A and B are shown apart, each in its own frame.
Chain A
Amino acid sequence: DTGVSQDPRHKITKRGQNVTFRCDPISEHNRLYWYRQTLGQGPEFLTYFQNEAQLEKSRLLSDRFSAERPKGSFSTLEIQRTEQGDSAMYLCASSLAFEQFFGPGTRLTVL
């Protein structure tokens, strides 16, 4: 059990560029979640997968955001045409039963 991993850990981009983040859940965890956290706030839910099916999306997930989980293993979160308001920590979590386990996060800075 190596824990949830996320890549990259830090990303700096210019406004208008596209970025993609990757999350590798704990092996055998069938549920995967994405959250976003801004400074001084608790994480906010973005989207959830059970295996490869995306079962819930937050209204925070605008049309510029897309998430996938092909084959029910790793997941990617893509942000198109980034805006300064997208600057945040993007956290991934996985679970098998009740408890969610989080990765170290990807810190996105949009200049």
Chain B
Amino acid sequence: KQEVTQIPAALSVPEGENLVLNCSFTDSAIYNLQWFRQDPGKGLTSLLLIQSSQREQTSGRLNASLDKSSGRSTLYIAASQPGDSATYLCAVTWGGANSKLTFGKGITLSVRP
């Protein structure tokens, strides 16, 4: 069964800390992987998309890496800020560009001032 796992479910860090959010997935034959941010009661904001042929993507203070062979992706957030507090979701597509996203349950991040 194709599944996405994100552990831990919640994380609390002091402001300014660099942090890594982990995502693991079964079945290494992914098409692409997307990281999203979700604020409470809101929709999803796409942060980064990594194609299966890529190893990493960067946007500002965010860097996402992909290791298909080990079934893992990480989202690195540099110099965290209280405004980064949100739930971060990892989602995988297996079947091609048209296919659905399979999500993890997310990691709720709290950055303390």
Query: Which residues of A are in contact with B by a Cβ distance under 8 Å?
Result: 4, 6, 31, 33, 35, 40-45, 48, 50, 55-56, 58, 91, 93, 97-105, 107
Name the CB-closest residue of A to B106: A42
Query: Which residues of B are in contact with A by a Cβ distance under 8 Å?
Result: 4, 32, 34, 36, 41-46, 49, 51, 89, 91, 93, 97-98, 100-106
B105 cross-chain contacts in A, Cβ below 8 A: 40-42
* Residue pair B46, A100 in contact (C-beta under 8 Å): yes
Given A42-B89, A42-B91, A42-B106, answer yes or no on A100-B43 (Cβ-Cβ < 8 Å): no
A42 cross-chain contacts in B, Cβ below 8 A: 4, 89, 91, 103-106
* Residue pair A104, B34 in contact (C-beta under 8 Å): no
- Could you show 19 A-B contacts with beta carbons less than 8 Å apart? A35-B101, A42-B91, A42-B105, A42-B106, A43-B89, A44-B103, A45-B101, A48-B100, A50-B98, A55-B98, A91-B43, A97-B97, A99-B34, A101-B46, A102-B44, A102-B45, A102-B46, A103-B43, A105-B43
B49 cross-chain contacts in A, Cβ below 8 A: 98-99
How many A-B residue pairs have C-beta atoms within 8 angstroms? Tell me.
58
A97 to B34, CA, bound (A): 13
How far in angstroms is the closest Cβ of chain B from A99? 5
**Chain B facing A: main interface SS:** strand
* Residue pair B43, A102 in contact (C-beta under 8 Å): yes
A93 cross-chain contacts in B, Cβ below 8 A: 44, 101
* Interface core residue of A43, A99, A107 (most chain B CB under 10 Å): A43
A84 to B44, CA, bound (A): 24
A33 to B102, CA, bound (A): 12
How far in angstroms is the closest Cβ of chain B from A102? 4
A35 cross-chain contacts in B, Cβ below 8 A: 101
* Residue pair A91, B101 in contact (C-beta under 8 Å): no
* Residue pair B98, A104 in contact (C-beta under 8 Å): no
B103 cross-chain contacts in A, Cβ below 8 A: 42-44
* Residue pair B89, A98 in contact (C-beta under 8 Å): no
Residue in B34, B104, B106 whose CB lies within 8 Å of A100: B34
B41 cross-chain contacts in A, Cβ below 8 A: 107
